[in-house]
Homo-oligomer: A and B are copies of this chain.
């Protein structure tokens, strides 16, 4: 690899001069600057960001930790982060935990050893004790989509209490009285809040809250299918289900189909996220939309802002969810 020294030699100047030319220093004569740049290009010189980072104390990269990149919600979020980070010359190191807490920690350690300038975490559980340690360290980080209960950290997400309410109120308005809930991991705050909203809304309307109509899974299609089957195979089953994310809802859809239930005639179904596959013809899932791409952009903007030393404008940013009514919801049968 050609280094700054090689360029210096070829140009008959010192390495420092080359460095200055590369960094467009105003101290240099335009003429020499141009000449050095030309020679550097001819030699195929590419700055070693590793070495530069060592001096400057920055790696020019941020870490992004997501639970499941195969979930379109996180894929879109990742796109948003990448777009903003790359625009400012930052690299994005992606880590996929598959919901495994141990892997999450191991990734964060890896990322810190690599001296990423900051972290975006979309994986934290509500009571993660490790987060406290991270908060004590000097690695800036922002939480996105999933927040912590204990640590007051920068967070960008969607108002899930409102989103959950939107979903369940919609079902209640349609006339449903037997409403089930299928959540994600029970220790994930957004799942908890959607559940909380479910409970609150049922209570407000004095509707029954049955144990068998509540299940927690792990936000995957397979788990949604399992939970759906279990819930729908009961002797008395709900006439509507609020699934705490779209891929889970799609799993429930399959379970219902297998059991010979028609949607929405026999069962109404509401998801959460509005991934692009929710709007497919014949699926037409009613859902609560989250601006996933924008969430990623915002999280990146925020982190980048912290990295440039500017103070955060606020510590929590909550975007509004939006109910998207399609064709998986209807009044209950009978």
Contact = CB atoms under 8 A, between A and B. Distances in A.
Contacts of A254: 280-281
A61 interface: yes
Interface stretch (A47-55, A151-159, A161-169): A47-55
Contacts of A113: 46-49
B283 A61 contact: no
Nearest to A71: B75
Contacts of A112: 46
A27 interface: no
A50 B54 contact: yes
Contact of A283 (B70, B276, B282): B282
B281 A280 contact: no
B110 A89 contact: yes
Contact of A78 (B89, B96, B282): B96
B114 A61 contact: yes
A61 B53 CA distance: 15
Interface string A76-119: 10110011001001011111100000000001011111110000
A75 B257 CA distance: 27
A275 B125 CA distance: 28
B46 A50 contact: no
Interface in A98-153: 107, 109-115, 137-138
A64 B72 CA distance: 18
Nearest to A280: B250
A253 interface: yes
A69 interface: yes
Contacts of A94: 64, 78, 82, 92-94
Contacts of A75: 69-70, 72, 75
A192 interface: no
A83 B72 CA distance: 19
B89 A91 contact: no
Contacts of A64: 94
B86 A107 contact: yes
28 contacts: A1-B138, A44-B137, A46-B113, A47-B113, A49-B114, A50-B53, A50-B54, A50-B59, A50-B114, A54-B54, A69-B69, A69-B75, A70-B75, A70-B76, A72-B72, A72-B75, A86-B110, A91-B95, A91-B111, A93-B93, A94-B94, A250-B277, A253-B280, A253-B281, A253-B282, A258-B281, A280-B280, A282-B282
A-B interface, 9 closest residue pairs, ranked by CB to CB distance from nearest = A257-B281, A94-B94, A282-B282, A277-B277, A70-B75, A49-B114, A91-B93, A49-B113, A254-B281
